[in-house]
Chain A
Amino acid sequence: MPDFIEQLRRRLGELGCPRMQVRRLVQEVADHHEDLKQAALSEGLSEANAEAHANAQLGDPVALAEHLMVMLLRSSWWGRHSLIAFCLLPLLAVPVLWTLFLMLGLSLEFALGFGWDWKKLHVATDNPVAFHHLVLALHGADYVAIALVTLLFCWLARRSGVSLKWMVIACAICSLYASFVYARIWPHNFEVGITWTPQWIEAAIPLLIAGAIYAFRRRMMQRFQEKVAVKPPAPLREEWNLCRHPIANAKARLWTETGGL
């Protein structure tokens, strides 16, 4: 059983299945394997034959892992509508979060610096120190909103088990948005618009976050693979090599092989 379960665990990890889901699925399949084995033992099979019988009943762990991932993707809205979720929603989330943080920053500054006195605020833009604080609030909201939206969509991608591609796309969209949408402030003037001169610092934030998450996931995957290092049995090697698009293959096979069951 360890081989079967470790192969299942490894393949689920490779497919980007969230760790909590991996733990739960592996636990349940291990329980199921044990039930099959016990049933075989009660029918008079030897320990080794019962083990082999349970393995045969459960089938190929690689194919099983792929079926499990397909069902996991189907079960979440993020998995079913990845295009809307990771291409369109970031474009809406950034301005919403930016506005919220800007309002929060300005409210804090208004409350702490001017004691909610509108007369003081009116002359604040002529005061270099107070104006500097306004500029800080504006850029702070910009950076924080971009960073938080990027982190949020990376987390959602990880949680829903979608491929790394969607996480990278969401980060790229955040980066493009940050490059070309700007907000500037002058004394008694405020401007939001689109510029064709890229804002490199803002654009770099999502890319840096994506890079850090990618490196972290790669490192975790290497550790995970070292931990559960197993050689696939000979009949499976060919399938491992062929699995360049495992989810697409599994989707096509899922209902035809099991006939919907």
Chain B
Amino acid sequence: MKKTNPSFLNGVPELLVLRLLSRREMYGYQIVEEIRTQTGETLSFGEGCIYPYLHYLEAEKQVSSQRREVEGRNRNYYKLTARGRKRLEALTTEWKRVTTGVSLLMEEQNA
């Protein structure tokens, strides 16, 4: 696995975090683990770097947070807001458009 993610992935973290939070509420560690496992360890968040990112999304009102005790542990749980859901839809559409275009070009080159 590469140590760092390529620079063309800028903007992908927002999409991934919003996508994961659209399924259920999660806390920082869970999000990092989910990204790692669900992308087959292709992508990974630097541990700890997720928090400023989540705070940024919270300041943008795309996610909201609540501190809760679950199984004896206090954690900040993040969930998607209506604005976040709209943003996710826009990012998903954009992502599909870009990947379709890039795939077409790559396939043409391979053919």
Do A and B come together as binding partners? yes
Chain A interface (Cβ within 8 Å of chain B)?
Answer: 21, 24-25, 27-29, 31-32, 34-36, 57-59, 64, 67-68, 70-72, 74-76, 255-261
Contacts of A32 in B (CB 8 A): 28-29, 32, 47-48, 51
A25 touches which of B11, B51, B75 (Cβ 8 Å): B51
Q: How many A-B residue pairs have CB under 8 A?
A: 91
Number of interface residues of B (CB under 8 A): 32
B43 on the A face (CB < 8 A): yes
Quick check: B29 and A258 within 8 Å, CB to CB? no
Quick check: B51 and A28 within 8 Å, CB to CB? yes
Q: How far is the CB of B4 from chain A (nearest CB, A)?
A: 4
In the bound complex, how far is the Cα of B4 from the Cα of A257, in angstroms? 6
B101 on the A face (CB < 8 A): no
Quick check: B59 and A261 within 8 Å, CB to CB? no
Quick check: A31 and B53 within 8 Å, CB to CB? no
Quick check: A259 and B4 within 8 Å, CB to CB? yes
Quick check: A261 and B29 within 8 Å, CB to CB? no
B10 on the A face (CB < 8 A): yes
Quick check: A258 and B4 within 8 Å, CB to CB? yes
Chain B interface (Cβ within 8 Å of chain A)?
Answer: 4-7, 9-13, 27-29, 32, 35, 43-49, 51-53, 55-56, 59-60, 73-76
Instruction: Take A71-B55, A75-B55 as given contacts and tell me if A258 and B46 are in contact as well, using a CB distance cutoff of 8 Å.
Output: yes
Quick check: A58 and B12 within 8 Å, CB to CB? no
Q: Residue on A with the closest CB to B54?
A: A28
14 A/B residue pairs, CB under 8 Å, sorted by A: A31-B29, A31-B75, A31-B76, A32-B29, A59-B48, A68-B51, A71-B52, A75-B55, A256-B7, A257-B4, A258-B49, A259-B5, A260-B5, A261-B46
